[in-house]
Structure 1
Amino acid sequence: MVKYFSDSPQELADFQSDFKNARKVVITSHQNPDGDAFGSGLGLYAYLKTLHFDSVAFISPTDYADFLGWMPGVSDVVVYESDQKEYAEKLMAEADLFFCLDFSAAARIKDMKDSLLASPAKKIVIDHHEQPEDFADYIFWNEKASSTCELVYQFIDKIGDVEQINQESAICLYTGLLTDTGSFKYEATSPEVHRIAGLLLAKGVVPNQIHRSLFDNNTLDRLKFLGYILNKKLVYLPEFRVCYIKLSQKELQKFNSKTGDTEGIVNYGLSMAGVVMSAIFIEKDGLIKISFRSVDDFSVSDFSREHFEGGGHKNAAGGRSKQSLEETVEKFLNLLPYYKNQLLLQPK
């Protein structure tokens, strides 16, 4: 399903009027931001900063991981869950335009939700997750898109302003393309993705620098943590073609785990031949946070939405549980027999 407000002449005209007359803009993305959330947010931020607005602000609902700390504009990010909360509330209350990037449900911005919905600003959702909520004035949404960064580029293109994308913006947008396509290997890596990537390279992006900044800056603690997980915590269930990992709060503390240190670990399960679904269960802040990954036609988005208060994409989804870590994993294991036929039917 695709919904681009720019495809409606009336909606596009209304947006262009709002865009032209706006003075103050706020951008936000989902809590615990990943490369696409920050890439799209900071990419749009760098672009909008070149225009006529009196102020442009990027508010992150929560703190961000160290591996994103190198990105252009990151020092300007206002973190809501910090001593900047009062300032963030002021920005939202005074905004004329409010861009909501890389989330389709208002709950994905955690404690900022009420302030978002109460803001008098015109709200624009740019996103590629399934089943978007109806809280925005303008929607630029495509669940088949590789990333929100792809959509931000297309959005700027649709309003005829691609030439205004500068090097800083291009670096951020390329980052989201890279991370959300798994370095251009996932199914959503279309000819359009490579076309946009090429155009961003022409803006001054240096691919190997971005790749090293994202993937080659591990701490010794994180590498030891990863070794521990792969050696001691990865469980393979060949009868279901499933891998899973469970991590307790005590284990996170033992390896001095910081925000972002568990990012991407769930993908290691899928690197095993024949595995269809991989899951990771992490005990943190009184909840069990869950990530699911899959291949081919097995929808972890449906699985997570049905059983773990989650959702996302067909092959990449998140969820959560208020039960204990052991109870949550037991629930997961008890569900697998009901999905056995679907899991075993996937191509090898």
Structure 2
Amino acid sequence: MKEIRLDNFIDEFDKSQRIVITNHTNPDGDAMGSALALQRILEKLGKTVHVIVPNPYPKFLWHLTGNDRVMIYSNGKKAANAQIEAADMIFHLDYNAYHRSADMEEALRAAQAKKVMIDHHQQPESWPDFIYSDTVMSSTCQMVYEFCTMYNWDQFLDKESAECLYTGIVTDTGSFKFSATTSRTHEVAGKLLDLGVESQQLQNKIFDSQPAARLKLLGTMLGQMETSADGTVVLLYLSKAQCDALGYEKGITEGFVNYGLSVDGAQIACFMREEEGIVKISLRSKGLLDVNELARASFNGGGHKNAAGGRLDTDIAAALAHAKTHLPWS
């Protein structure tokens, strides 16, 4: 489903000097790539731009240009709130509901700035002044590229901003493997390559520069993998004790859920990771199986048809029991 509500956007943009770009809690490659690329483009248009994210993000994204200027809300709420309050316009990237901004929600709700949503998740809320939503688009990074072409801003793309956008596309499509990848996705990726992106070098930084702890955690997770009787559902998990013992750090388990879908016959994969008092959940599916609806109904989350997330306010043992009750476990 597509919703484009951008009437008078450019008039408001021209009047806006101070701009804040935000994204969702636990930012991933698409969230950070889109934010940092857009920041670089808007600065070339003469705007004063701050990227403010709810909490820290994985080290494998720290190479992106602009990383050193990102404001982490959880590390400095007073300074971040001052920028949000002073903003003339706020871009909300890669999320479509206020609660996805976590502790930033109150400040964002109170902000008097014009609000622009660019996002590809299902069921967007209606509060933004301007919306560009497309639930079949591969990534918010692809959407930012398309958004820029609407206003001829793509002329301001350079190698650095192209690397940011390519990062989001390649991570959100599973290196062009997932179903939302289209011929247009490849076309946009090709244009970014033409701007100087070195695909192999960039993907090495993203996927092949992981700490040893990641492999230890992966081995532990795979060693205790469970499958439904018919083999269509794969359940993966890590307890907090295991994470603590093996050196977990933010982002280190990114992509673990996809190992479940690689099992022959698997149609749904669920990965659970326990933190203090909560269990975070990633869901993936193949074909027509809709894990977005499953996440919304049973796991306090949501996302896309074939990729969603959620959380349970419980421990890992109770979460596993809950999953076996609400997944098609047989």
TM-score interval for Structure 1 and Structure 2 normalised by the shorter chain: over 0.9
The separation in 2 between residues aligned to 1:264 and 1:86, in whole angstroms, is: 33
The separation in 1 between residues aligned to 2:130 and 2:168, in whole angstroms, is: 22
Runs of 4+ in structure 1 off by over 3 angstroms are none
1:36 corresponding residue in structure 2: 30
Matched, 1:74 2:50: no
The separation in 2 between residues aligned to 1:5 and 1:158, in whole angstroms, is: 13
C-alpha displacement at 1:329, in angstroms? Answer: 1.2
C-alpha displacement at 1:238, in angstroms? Answer: 3.9
C-alpha displacement at 1:208, in angstroms? Answer: 0.8
Contact 2:277-2:314 within 8 A present in 1 as well: no
- What secondary structure is seen at the aligned counterpart in 1 of 2:44? coil
Task: Choose from 56, 68, 77 the match for 2:49.
Answer: 56
The separation in 2 between residues aligned to 1:238 and 1:177, in whole angstroms, is: 35
Q: How does 1:156-167 map to 2 (within 5 A)?
A: 156-167=148-159
2:271 corresponding residue in structure 1: 280
Q: Normalising to structure 1: TM-score of the pair?
A: 0.93
Task: Choose from 159, 172, 186 the match for 1:194.
Answer: 186
The separation in 2 between residues aligned to 1:160 and 1:238, in whole angstroms, is: 54
Amino acid at match of 1:234: M
Contact 2:267-2:286 within 8 A present in 1 as well: yes
The separation in 1 between residues aligned to 2:78 and 2:221, in whole angstroms, is: 39
1:346 corresponding residue in structure 2: none
Q: How does 1:1-348 map to 2 (within 5 A)?
A: 1-6=1-6, 11=7, 14-53=8-47, 55-82=48-75, 84-230=76-222, 232-239=223-230, 241-337=232-328
Amino acid at match of 2:36: L
C-alpha displacement at 1:285, in angstroms? Answer: 3.0
Amino acid at match of 2:5: F
Contact 1:33-1:64 within 8 A present in 2 as well: yes
Identity of counterpart residues, as a percentage? 39
Amino acid at match of 1:210: L
C-alpha displacement at 1:203, in angstroms? Answer: 1.2
Give the unaligned 5+ runs of structure 1.
Answer: 341-348
Amino acid at match of 1:323: T
Give the unaligned 5+ runs of structure 2.
Answer: none
Contact 1:240-1:336 within 8 A present in 2 as well: no
Amino acid at match of 1:68: L
The separation in 1 between residues aligned to 2:315 and 2:212, in whole angstroms, is: 30
Contact 1:181-1:188 within 8 A present in 2 as well: yes
Contact 1:47-1:169 within 8 A present in 2 as well: yes
C-alpha displacement at 1:274, in angstroms? Answer: 1.0
Q: Normalising to structure 2: TM-score of the pair?
A: 0.97
The separation in 1 between residues aligned to 2:276 and 2:67, in whole angstroms, is: 25
Q: Deviations over 1:38-76 (max 9, x none)?
A: 1111111111111121x2000010011111111111011
The separation in 2 between residues aligned to 1:305 and 1:112, in whole angstroms, is: 22
